[in-house]
């Protein structure tokens, strides 16, 4: 049964206005920058739809003559930033991780984000009518966002939750960041040595050779005192947070100690502990470094193999919706090509001739870029064709999956991985190899990943507009403008975070502070397939691990693999957030609340968590800007004990405020001009 739009078609309201567009673009930059930080730190991004809806309502209420359709345009433009940067951070850091870019290249990154983002918008215009009007697609997050706008007509915005939590997390980040006051140490680590053990080797039940001396140890690290990471755990819930934590336990508390224990004197890892560069370090500090190298060189390739199989398994499980999305994409392309824009406001799209012309026009500069990488016109043309075809099909698939499960759960990295394998296989088949081939594969994947990520977000916002009664062309123009602007801006915070981390003594992208796990996966696969640098034995171990998890019925093997790929302080902080969510849900259930009421109050907690993520990330970016500008704040004596109140405050905020929130206000009866 189709839902009647909230605003009648004959209503005359302000919609595509300069103030709505500017507000949306500013939010796109800010929320996109926040997600860039979060994605490179924790391998997760959050949907910007909900905080953008609230901010748009609050700001536009200050203007006379504002309307719900203006709020919709501002929210739609704002969601572009999160979606575009999600596609970017899953792929573009791979150029740095592989060493193909000695520095983060602004112009190439901007170009790939721009082409991918615009293609994603143009592709989805073909799909808008069929997907938005399909009664079998629930669009869970789009429906929730539309209800936020409708509730705002009666004065309920939830802005106090969002902005208060942003302020708290910003203050915490200022106190603990190394570029800030550094009053709080956000994590404490150490190394526990095992006692010396002698292992006697047996052959046919009889000992042979001299017993060997073995002594390993356990690298321990406390959870990050990070409101953002704990908020990620709250948002994804206790089950996924526990799975993520299990990956960290497997990596850091089982595999790394086992590797160290079996690495006797003379091994590469133990020789590293005696390296001259570590002469001034203490014994335990050297062993911590060795443990970190064991994780990077042995455990991470295993995690990559597990992520590879997990991504394929996720796509296989969704094969029904995937195939339906592919069939729908081609049928909708035929329909759209012969469909004139309707006279009614609900049916006004950007002309299809412009859409087709834009896609063809973007094909030419991408061919030139691929030629620059491969130095061969055949490989460049093949890469460009692969980009267009896989981009369109996977954008259609992404849009369909968002209609089924929402954008937050859409397997963007799995779709990007599919495009990488297709591009790598094609280029290797025609003889393109070496660093140029790796760069071309990563470039195809970057464009397709940006397109698919944006396509999913855009179709979700189209559905919100469909429910509210918005004009499609207004949203489409807002998407294109926001995409163009943010593509030129969002590379800056990524590069600033990379450069600031290096200046503060870190390794930048791919290092401990900015691990960028999905991009690390893309880098390893591109080098392995095209450049022949894959650590295949370790990867195959990860493949076997993922197959075992799948056979055991693991809910999300990918989350386990990502937990292995991240440092223990991150996964344990996410787990703390999951525990907080579990406590809150259990408390509300014991108070006799039904499932819809618990979900409503959890949404309040999600707003609080979203504010913490945005506040911490934006403060980290401001501090990165100050480091790049040469401005330093006085560093105070840091202490790990000062981090304990942060965990307590986050738990109190995310549990007590949702539990004690006021009862649900009366729902709006209908549209009131």
Can you tell me the distance from the alpha carbon of 305 to that of 538, in angstroms, rounded to the nearest whole number?
A: 8
pTM recorded for the entire structure? 0.73
Q: Is the dihedral of CA 105, 106, 111, 114 positive or negative?
A: positive
What is residue 482's predicted lDDT score, i.e. its pLDDT?
A: 95
Confidence of residue 340 (pLDDT cuts 50, 70, 90): very low
Q: Which two tokens stand for residue 377?
A: 């016109």
CB 161 within 8 A of CB 606: no
Confidence of residue 584 (pLDDT cuts 50, 70, 90): very high
CB 55 within 8 A of CB 643: no
Minimum mean pLDDT range among 101-105, 296-300, 451-455: 296-300
Which H/E stretch holds residue 360? Answer: helix 352-374
| Res. 361: pLDDT tops 70 | yes
What is residue 156's predicted lDDT score, i.e. its pLDDT?
A: 60
What is residue 667's predicted lDDT score, i.e. its pLDDT?
A: 46
Confidence of residue 508 (pLDDT cuts 50, 70, 90): confident
- Mean pLDDT (whole number) for 329-355: 63
CB 461 within 8 A of CB 79: yes
The tokens 């991004």 sit on which residue? Answer: 45
3-state SS of 209-258 is: CCCEEECCEEEEECCCCCHHHHHHHHHHHHHHHHHHHHHHHHHHHHHHHH
Can you tell me the distance from the alpha carbon of 439 to that of 523, in angstroms, rounded to the nearest whole number?
A: 10
Q: How many residues does the chain have?
A: 673
| Res. 254: pLDDT tops 60 | yes
| Res. 448: pLDDT tops 50 | yes
Can you tell me the distance from the alpha carbon of 113 to that of 93, in angstroms, rounded to the nearest whole number?
A: 13
CB 386 within 8 A of CB 437: no
Residues in a beta bridge with 184: 639
- Mean pLDDT (whole number) for 259-286: 62
CB 423 within 8 A of CB 91: no
Q: Is the dihedral of CA 9, 12, 16, 20 positive or negative?
A: negative
Angle 85-89-93 from CA coordinates, rounded to 5°? 140
Instruction: Compute the chain's Rg from CA coordinates.
Output: 25
Q: Residue ranges of the alpha helices (H) in 556-641?
A: 557-565, 568-590, 595-628
Confidence of residue 603 (pLDDT cuts 50, 70, 90): confident
Can you tell me the distance from the alpha carbon of 368 to that of 381, in angstroms, rounded to the nearest whole number?
A: 9
Report the C-alpha dihedral over residues 449, 48, 336, 361, rounded to 10 degrees.
-50
| Res. 338: pLDDT tops 50 | no
482-499 in b/e burial notation, b at 16+ Cβ within 10 A?
bbebbbebbbbbbbbbbb
Of 533 and 378, which is predicted with more confidence? 378
- Mean pLDDT (whole number) for 133-155: 72
Can you tell me the distance from the alpha carbon of 352 to that of 593, in angstroms, rounded to the nearest whole number?
A: 50
Q: Which two tokens stand for residue 225?
A: 């005192």
* CA dist 554 → 43, 181, 207, 235, 549 (Å): 20, 43, 41, 20, 5
- Mean pLDDT (whole number) for 550-573: 86
DSSP secondary structure code for residue 514 in this structure:
B
Q: Three-state DSSP class for 315?
A: helix
What is residue 240's predicted lDDT score, i.e. its pLDDT?
A: 86
DSSP secondary structure code for residue 453 in this structure:
H
Quote the longest CA-to-CA distance of the chain: 91
Q: Which two tokens stand for residue 336?
A: 């759209």
What is residue 278's predicted lDDT score, i.e. its pLDDT?
A: 54
Confidence of residue 211 (pLDDT cuts 50, 70, 90): low
| Res. 339: pLDDT tops 50 | no
| Res. 406: pLDDT tops 50 | yes
Which H/E stretch holds residue 142? Answer: helix 140-152
What is residue 231's predicted lDDT score, i.e. its pLDDT?
A: 87
Q: Which two tokens stand for residue 465?
A: 């507009």
Q: Give the residue from 633, 608, 612 showing the smallest Cα distance to 623.
A: 633
Can you tell me the distance from the alpha carbon of 209 to that of 141, in angstroms, rounded to the nearest whole number?
A: 65
Can you tell me the distance from the alpha carbon of 582 to that of 346, in angstroms, rounded to the nearest whole number?
A: 43
What is residue 1's predicted lDDT score, i.e. its pLDDT?
A: 39
| Res. 360: pLDDT tops 60 | yes
Confidence of residue 265 (pLDDT cuts 50, 70, 90): low
Q: Give the residue from 459, 403, 370, 441 showing the smallest Cα distance to 120.
A: 459
Q: Which two tokens stand for residue 474?
A: 């207004």
Of 160 and 340, which is predicted with more confidence? 160
- Mean pLDDT (whole number) for 146-167: 75
């Amino acid at each position: 049964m189709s839902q009647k739009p909230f605003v009648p078609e004959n209503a005359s309201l302000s919609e595509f206005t300069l103030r709505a567009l500017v507000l949306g673009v500013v939010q796109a930059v800010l929320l996109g920058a926040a997600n860039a930080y979060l994605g490179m730190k924790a391998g997760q991004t959050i949907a910007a739809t909900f905080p953008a809806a609230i901010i748009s309502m609050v700001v536009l209420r200050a203007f006379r003559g504002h309307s719900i359709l203006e709020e919709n345009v501002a929210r739609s433009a704002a969601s572009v930033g999160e979606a575009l940067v999600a596609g970017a951070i899953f792929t573009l850091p791979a150029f740095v991780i592989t060493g193909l870019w000695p520095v983060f290249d602004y112009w190439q990154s901007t170009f790939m984000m721009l082409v991918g983002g615009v293609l994603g918008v143009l592709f989805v215009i073909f799909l808008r009518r069929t997907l938005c009007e399909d009664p079998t697609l629930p669009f869970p997050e789009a429906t929730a966002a539309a209800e936020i706008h409708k509730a705002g007509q009666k004065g309920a915005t939830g802005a106090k939750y969002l902005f208060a939590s942003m302020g708290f997390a910003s203050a915490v980040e200022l106190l603990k960041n190394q570029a800030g006051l550094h009053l709080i140490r956000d994590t404490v680590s150490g190394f526990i040595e095992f006692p010396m053990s002698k292992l006697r080797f047996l052959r046919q039940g009889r000992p042979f050779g001299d017993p060997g001396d073995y002594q390993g140890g356990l690298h321990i690290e406390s959870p990050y005192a990070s409101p953002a990471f704990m908020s990620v755990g709250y948002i994804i819930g206790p089950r996924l947070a526990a799975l993520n934590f299990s990956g960290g336990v497997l990596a850091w508390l089982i595999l790394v100690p086992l590797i160290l224990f079996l690495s006797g004197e003379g091994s590469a890892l133990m020789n590293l502990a005696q390296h001259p560069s570590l002469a001034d370090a203490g014994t335990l500090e050297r062993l911590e470094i060795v443990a970190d190298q064991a994780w990077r060189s042995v455990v991470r390739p295993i995690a990559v193999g597990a992520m590879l199989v997990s991504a394929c398994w996720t796509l296989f499980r969704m094969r029904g919706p995937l195939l339906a999305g592919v069939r729908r994409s081609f049928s909708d392309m035929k329909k759209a090509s012969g469909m004139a824009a309707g006279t009614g406001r609900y049916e006004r799209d950007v002309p299809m001739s412009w859409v087709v012309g834009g896609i063809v026009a973007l094909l030419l500069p991408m061919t030139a870029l691929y030629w620059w990488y491969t130095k061969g016109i055949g490989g460049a043309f093949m890469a460009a064709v692969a980009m267009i075809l896989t981009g369109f099909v996977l954008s259609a698939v992404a849009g369909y999956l968002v209609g089924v499960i929402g954008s937050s759960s859409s397997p963007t990295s799995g779709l990007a991985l599919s495009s990488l394998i297709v591009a790598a296989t094609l280029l290797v088949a025609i003889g393109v190899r070496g660093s140029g081939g790796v760069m071309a594969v990563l470039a195809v994947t970057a464009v397709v990943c940006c397109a698919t990520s944006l396509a999913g977000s855009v179709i979700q916002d189209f559905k919100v507009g469909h429910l509210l009664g918005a004009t499609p062309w207004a949203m489409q123009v807002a998407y294109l403008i926001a995409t163009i602007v943010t593509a030129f801006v969002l590379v800056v915070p990524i590069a600033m975070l990379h450069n600031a981390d290096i200046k503060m003594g870190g390794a930048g992208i791919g290092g401990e502070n900015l691990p960028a796990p999905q991009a690390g996966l893309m880098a390893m696969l591109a080098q392995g397939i095209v450049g022949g640098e894959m650590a295949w034995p370790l990867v195959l171990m990860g493949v076997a691990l993922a197959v075992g998890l799948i056979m055991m019925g693991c809910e999300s093997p990918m989350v386990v693999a990502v937990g292995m790929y991240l440092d223990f302080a991150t996964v344990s902080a996410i787990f703390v957030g999951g525990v907080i969510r579990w406590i809150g849900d259990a408390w509300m259930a014991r108070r006799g609340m039904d499932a819809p009421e618990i979900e409503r109050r959890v949404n309040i907690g999600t707003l609080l968590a979203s504010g913490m993520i945005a506040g911490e990330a934006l403060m980290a970016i401001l501090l990165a800007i100050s480091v790049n500008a040469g401005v330093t704040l006085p560093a105070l004596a840091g202490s790990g004990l000062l981090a304990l109140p942060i965990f307590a405050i986050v738990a109190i905020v995310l549990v007590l405020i949702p539990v004690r929130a006021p009862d649900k206000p009366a729902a709006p009866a209908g549209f009131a001009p």
